[in-house]
Amino acid sequence: MLAPSCASDKTPGHPEPLVVHLPDGRRLGLTRYGDPSHPVAVFHHGFGSSSLELPPAPALLASLGLQVVALDRPGVGHSDVYRRLSFPSFAADTVAVLDALGIAGPVGVLGWSVGGVHALALAALYPERVAAVHLLSTCLPLGERAAYRHLSRVWKGLRWGQLSFPWLNRTTFLWLSRQWARHPDRTIGWFIRLMHPAEARVTQAFRALLRDAAVQGFAHAGRGVYDDAQAWCRPPGFRMEAVRAPTTLWHGTADGVWAPDNIPYLASRLARARLHPLPGQGHMLYLENWAKILTQLRAELPL
């Protein structure tokens, strides 16, 4: 069942928050950008963020004849917490949302950062529902044995800490949720100061958008962020080789969050991968290249 969010803005072309009631009774929030009659691109947000991290771009979407359906993972925004979150469970949630919206045909799928792994899971587990995949500054699944060998020492250490000291991470995410709720401007300023130059520049330019997205991302006392991290660290539950849709990997050569070294390896495991390196750009590259990304994706979708 589909219901408008209480904060829904019905202005034509502007982002529309909605809530879908899933078959098991849970609520899943989403934001729809663009005309509901247009072909669909599904967007998976990054870690600690939400469906609000996209530029509204109503004129761009209208010119392309495209709508973007951005989903909030469990425990984010208006989505209920789901402790058993996994890549397969959220792929199933995504299909349930598409069914609730009456979207039957293949869609484009985009994923930024860890959202890229969720995009791959959807394409691998429901290939008939996916026409094309675009991975934007994507990560690797931390819990897959083969991919683990390619992780940096930093990411191996972060995975170890997440699994070995879950109480500490839960406490950290609870504290961060309070900071985002009480002091959002101060908190995003703190994160910007910690960023590499390429990320800091773009984040500052889109400061309000990313701030509001993070506030929603850390809703529910940070429970959704914690569960997302746990899912990321466990075995992924799908095989990347099962992805058959054409897949474009957009990655900046100056990415300070997920270094580009692993991207050729990831591409080697995807049957129809195409690398799209962006010189000098960082982890937030999707914000600077949104028109190019959507234009290419629209060309890969059925008319």
**What is the per-residue DSSP string for 221-271?**
GGHHHHHHHHHHHS--SS-GGG--S-EEEEEETT-SSS-GGGHHHHHHTST
pLDDT (tens digit, 0 to 9) for every residue of the chain, 303 residues total?
556 554 445 555 689 999 999 999 999 999 999 999 999 999 999 999 999 999 999 999 999 999 999 999 999 999 999 999 999 999 999 999 999 999 998 999 999 999 999 999 999 999 999 999 999 999 999 999 999 999 999 999 999 999 999 999 999 999 999 999 999 999 999 999 999 999 999 999 999 999 999 999 999 999 999 999 999 999 999 999 999 999 999 999 999 999 899 999 999 999 999 999 999 999 999 999 999 999 999 999 987
Q: Residue 105's pLDDT is what?
A: 87
For residue 101, the tally of other CB atoms under 10 A from its CB is 17
pTM given for the model: 0.95
Q: Residue 4's pLDDT is what?
A: 55
Q: Residue 5's pLDDT is what?
A: 55
The pairing of strands 40-44 and 67-71 is parallel
- Bridge partner residues of 132 (DSSP): 108
Report which residue type is found at 275.
L
Q: Residue 1's pLDDT is what?
A: 58
Q: Residue 303's pLDDT is what?
A: 77
The CATH class given to the 2-299 domain equals: alpha beta
- Taking the C-alpha atoms of residue 100 and residue 108, their distance in angstroms, rounded to an integer, is 17
Q: Where are the domains of the chain?
A: 2-299
Q: Residue 165's pLDDT is what?
A: 95
Q: Residue 14's pLDDT is what?
A: 81
Q: Residue 12's pLDDT is what?
A: 55
- Taking the C-alpha atoms of residue 209 and residue 26, their distance in angstroms, rounded to an integer, is 27
